[in-house]
Amino acid sequence: RIRTFMTPTSTLLLAFSLSSDAFAASVSKGACVRRLRFMVALQTGLLFGLVEATTPIIGWLLGTSAYDTIAHWDHWIIFFLLLALGGKMIHGGLAPAPKDCASCDCGTTSDRTRWWLIIATAITTSLDAMAVGVGLAFMNANIWVTALAIGGATTLMATLGMLLGRRLGKTVGPRAEILGGLVLIAIGATTLYHHLLA
């Protein structure tokens, strides 16, 4: 396997970059809730975190099963996966936001949260983590520690996003997504650099 750079700092950067799309989604939802209770925000964050922690493990299992077949190109796979995911997040962050709350998918009705819609949103925002899990299969990274870090960071960021949504509006979320995309691209480029240098 390739010589990895997944230090604790790199793991935290990866975790918080992957949580940026959940943060953006929760900011959007929090902006549409009139009177948000802390327990509702925490439950939302835990739901996002649980899903986000599970999907990279699924991706890691898929990548591990194919490792022997594509081991010679592992560094390029990691680079292009993170490049594509980072570019997707940056593109999403630069996309114009809806001008009014009525036209957006808030996931709330008055003060009552529609949990089924939040679950669907959590699954959608976690697909990037599944793809990253595939890349982690080609690295000397502890998937359990990494998944726990991703889940914890997502729980924290999604809870904060819900709580701060009314004050932040919908402009901060996309900016966080852009930053997360840039971090993913940087991680992919660093992986490729370390492999080629070796």
- Tens digits of per-residue pLDDT, 24-61? 888 877 776 767 788 888 998 999 999 999 999 998 99
Which residues touch 138 (CB under 8 Å, ≥6 apart)? 1, 2, 63, 67, 71, 74, 75, 77, 78
Q: How far is CA 36 from CA 27, 41, 82, 90, in A?
A: 12, 7, 35, 29
pLDDT at 42: 92
For 164, phi and psi rounded to 5 degrees? -95, -5
Tokens representing 23?
């943060």
pTM of the prediction? 0.70
Enumerate the β-bridge partners of residue 112.
109
